[in-house]
Amino acid sequence: MLVIIDGVYSQDGDLAPLREIIALCKKYGAKLMVDDAHGTGVIGKTGRGLIEACDAWNDVDLITGTFSKTFGHIGGYVVASEEMVNYLKYQSRQHLFSASSTPAALAIVKAIELVDEEPLWMSALHANIQYFRHGLLALGLNIGNTESAIFPVRVGDKIKNARICHAMQQKGVYANQINYPAVSMKDARIRMGVTALHEKAHLDEVLNVWADIKKEFSL
């Protein structure tokens, strides 16, 4: 039996209750796989994700993630025991029929090193997360239980959601329109992400647009 979870959930930005899930896996003899694509470089004291934040290195059997977010490249990775990795090498068609990485993949190695060498970026990201969260909440917008750099503003109606997304683009703000089947039918939202390179002026501009959108669409 294998339990598969995200560390940070991509549409809500909330965190998995990892400790509780680990306890259940141990109780029922299940292996645990954590995909921390949205937590790496964001969550944990040194950016190692939710597993670091929960000090659960010895309780997770497989760790998966992506190089396309924090590390600014393409591709992904699997971290597991030697036995498990060898099994995946010979049983995964995606691996068997894939081509070797190009020399550009060395950028990933440097990006991983920079997570440790330049912690100021994670500090800047956390400051922006707190600032943006406070601003959205001050406007009375529903952002759910996000605890990461992902901010969903819940709209509910998919038609209104599409109109809001278009209006934001007209006002100079690009955001993702998330509708069914990415989320449930009545849980449409506008999804945004904050980075370390955003300045407060950028965040304020978005918050001002949201203030206008709230009035215009009676949110």
Measured over the CA atoms of residue 26, residue 1, residue 54 and residue 182, the dihedral's sign is negative
Question: Residue 200 and residue 98: Cα distance in Å, rounded?
Answer: 42
Of the listed 10, 171, 202, 214, which one is catalytic? 10
Residue 215 annotated among the catalytic residues of the structure: no
Question: Residue 206 and residue 173: Cα distance in Å, rounded?
Answer: 7
Is residue 18 a contact partner of residue 26, using CB atoms and an 8 Å limit?
no
Find tokens 């990461």 and name the residue. Answer: 148
Is residue 189 a contact partner of residue 153, using CB atoms and an 8 Å limit?
yes
Question: Residue 51 and residue 74: Cα distance in Å, rounded?
Answer: 22
Q: Write the CA distances from 24 to 14, 62, 116, integer angstroms.
A: 20, 16, 33
> SS3 sequence, 120-170?
HHHHHHHHHHHHHHHHHHHCCCCCCCCCCCEEEEEEECHHHHHHHHHHHHH
Of the listed 26, 27, 31, 38, which one is catalytic? 38
Of the listed 31, 69, 160, 171, which one is catalytic? 69
Residue 10 annotated among the catalytic residues of the structure: yes
Is residue 136 a contact partner of residue 207, using CB atoms and an 8 Å limit?
yes
Could you list the active site residues?
10, 38, 69
